[in-house]
């Protein structure tokens, strides 16, 4: 029987290797270790030649998750395989450790939302989340956790609020102040997505207020581009009418301005309209990646997809930019309960399966 894939099984969150498994070439089932009875597993593609394998925890391995070690492509049509030579190559593989992606919620300053006004909505939402055991993080706090190899917490959540501007005359600043105060009074970290509008005069008083929030430690400022630009054509491909100067102004100049003004370098680009990410290829637009690399942005945050586990090696590689998705208050049920429902779906389908309790 020819073996064509090799897995190492890890205990999460310690990432201790527990055992090794082989996969047959002839039958796409696990040639299981005698001590394991694995009867159901699913494959999730995380890179062209890398797969994450979930083994049904309920049945087989209640205390383990599985990381792929250089697994060959599972579908012949996908082409190249890392292990075409058979098991002798297996020892050369490097383990891939994975972090799940926390549920991530997008809000706007307009989130007075339907029947609830702001004061009705936000405190109720926060109460729901805290009651359900969620623990707030900013994107950069989550990055730090991964960089420091800390165990992923049971129920993290990232809340971001879009379209903050410190340009003079922007009408929603007072709403941001109110939203900030509610979150922080509840000890709930938030990420604020800034539209610089450097073509307009900036309000130093607003910047001073926001700098104070950042200094207190539970607020991260992300770039939301200089002009709230849409990077996408209708089909999700990159726009062809944008020049390298446009990209520079929208991303690098925006991020550096925020970093210079607050003293904290920007690590997160939250793209307007969830653009800058091509769903059909699951890739960030190359011009966006280039800008992010130049100024040290690690996350591009959009809306769709972006829920797959992150490899530790990717986190530590300074050149790699990670795409993360978000969810939003559901259309037709923009209430605290509706939001909670969306977040629980994410938690149950995309986060918890990769956590071992
Ligand atoms: Zn926006």
Q: How far is the CA of 171 from the centre of ligand 1 (A)?
A: 14
Please, is 133 exposed, middle or buried when counting C-beta atoms within 10 Å of its C-beta (0-12, 13-18, 19+)?
Answer: exposed
Q: With H, G, I as helix, E, B as strand and everything else as coil, classify residue 47.
A: strand
- Expressed in angstroms and rounded, the spacing between residue 273 Cα and the centre of ligand 1 is 6
User: C-alpha dihedral over 66, 67, 68, 69, to 10 degrees?
Assistant: -120
Q: Which residue has the tokens 């996908």?
A: 78
Residue 325 has pLDDT above 90, yes or no: yes
Q: Is the pLDDT of residue 111 over 90?
A: no
Q: What is the pLDDT of residues 273-305, one digit of tens each?
A: 999 999 988 899 999 999 999 999 999 999 999
CA distances in angstroms from 171 to 22, 109, 164, listed in the order given: 60, 10, 10
Please give the backbone phi and psi of residue 191, each rounded to the nearest 5 degrees, phi first.
-110, 130
pTM reported for the whole predicted model: 0.75
- 8 pLDDT above the threshold of 60: no
Q: Whats the size of the chain, residue-wise?
A: 357
Which tokens sit at 236? 């999700």
Distance 347 CA to ligand 1 centre (A): 24
User: Where does the pLDDT of residue 120 fall: very low under 50, low under 70, confident under 90, or very high at 90 and above?
Assistant: confident
**Measured in angstroms, how far is the CA atom of residue 302 from the centroid of ligand 1?**
10
CA 107–ligand 1 middle distance (angstroms): 9
* pLDDT band at 310; cut points 50, 70, 90: confident
Nearest to 100 by CA among 280, 321, 325, 316: 325
Expressed in angstroms and rounded, the spacing between residue 337 Cα and the centre of ligand 1 is 23
- Model pLDDT for residues 135-154, shown as the tens digit of each residue: 999 999 999 998 887 888 88
Long-range contacts made by residues 293-296, C-beta under 8 angstroms, separation at least 24?
A: 293/319, 293/321, 294/252, 295/251, 295/252, 295/255, 295/256, 295/259, 295/265, 295/266, 296/265, 296/266, 296/267
Distance, in Å, from the CA atom of 165 to the CA atom of 88, rounded to the nearest integer, reads: 57
What are the structure tokens assigned to 159, written together?
């809340």
Q: How far apart are the CA of 224 and the centre of ligand 1, in A?
A: 7
Residue with tokens 């799940």: 100
CATH topology of domain 99-354: TIM Barrel (3.20.20)
Asked if 236 and 279 touch (Cβ cutoff 8 Å), the reply is: yes
| Residues forming beta bridges with residue 269, ordered by sequence position | 223, 300
- Which tokens belong to 67? 């990381």
pLDDT at residue 125 in the model: 92
Q: At what angle do helices 336-346 and 118-131 cross, to 10 degrees?
A: 40
Q: How far is the CA of 175 from the centre of ligand 1 (A)?
A: 15
Distance (angstroms) between ligand 1 centre and the Cα of 182 equals 21
Q: Is 349 exposed, middle or buried (0-12, 13-18, 19+ CB in 10 A)?
A: exposed
Domain assignments of the chain as residue spans, ordered by start: 3-96, 99-354
Residue 126: Cβ within 10 Å count: 20
Which neighbouring-strand residues pair with 104?
158
Triad 275, 116, 307: Cα angle to 5°: 30
3-state secondary structure of 42: strand
Tokens of 106: 């997008």
Q: For residue 250, how far is its CA from the centre of ligand 1 (angstroms)?
A: 13
- Coil, strand or helix: which one is 67? strand
Going by DSSP bridges, is the β-strand pair 16-24/30-31 parallel, antiparallel, or unpaired? antiparallel
């Amino acid at each position: 029987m020819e073996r064509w894939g090799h897995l190492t099984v890890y205990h999460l969150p310690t990432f201790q290797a527990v055992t090794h498994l082989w996969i047959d070439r002839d039958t796409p089932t696990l040639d299981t270790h005698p001590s394991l009875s694995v009867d159901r597993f699913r494959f999730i593609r995380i890179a062209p030649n890398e797969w994450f394998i979930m083994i049904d925890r309920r049945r087989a391995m209640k205390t383990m998750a599985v990381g792929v070690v250089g697994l060959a492509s599972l579908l012949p049509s996908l082409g190249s395989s890392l292990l075409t030579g058979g098991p002798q190559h297996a020892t050369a593989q490097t383990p891939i450790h994975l972090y799940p992606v926390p549920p991530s919620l997008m809000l706007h300053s307009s989130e007075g939302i339907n029947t609830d006004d702001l004061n009705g909505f936000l405190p109720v939402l926060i109460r729901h989340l805290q009651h359900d055991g969620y623990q707030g993080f900013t994107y950069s706090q989550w990055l730090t956790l991964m960089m420091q190899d800390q165990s992923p917490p049971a129920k993290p959540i990232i809340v971001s609020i879009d379209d903050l501007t410190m340009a003079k005359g922007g009408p929603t600043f007072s709403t941001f102040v109110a939203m900030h105060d509610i979150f922080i009074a509840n000890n709930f970290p938030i990420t604020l997505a800034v539209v610089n509008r450097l073509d307009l005069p900036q309000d130093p008083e607003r910047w001073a207020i926001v700098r104070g929030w950042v200094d207190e430690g539970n607020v991260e400022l992300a770039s939301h581009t200089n002009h709230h630009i849409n990077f996408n054509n209708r089909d999700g491909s990159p726009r062809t009418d944008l020049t390298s100067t446009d990209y520079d102004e929208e991303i690098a100049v925006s991020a550096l301005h925020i970093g210079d003004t607050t003293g904290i370098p920007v690590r997160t680009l939250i793209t307007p309209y969830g653009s800058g990410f091509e769903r059909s290829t699951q890739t960030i637009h190359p011009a966006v990646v280039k800008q992010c690399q130049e100024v040290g942005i690690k996350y591009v945050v959009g809306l769709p997809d972006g829920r797959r586990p992150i490899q530790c090696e990717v986190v530590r590689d300074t050149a790699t930019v990670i795409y993360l998705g978000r969810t939003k208050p559901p259309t037709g049920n923009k209430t605290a309960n509706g939001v909670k429902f969306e977040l629980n779906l994410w938690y149950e389908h995309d986060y918890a399966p990769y956590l071992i309790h």
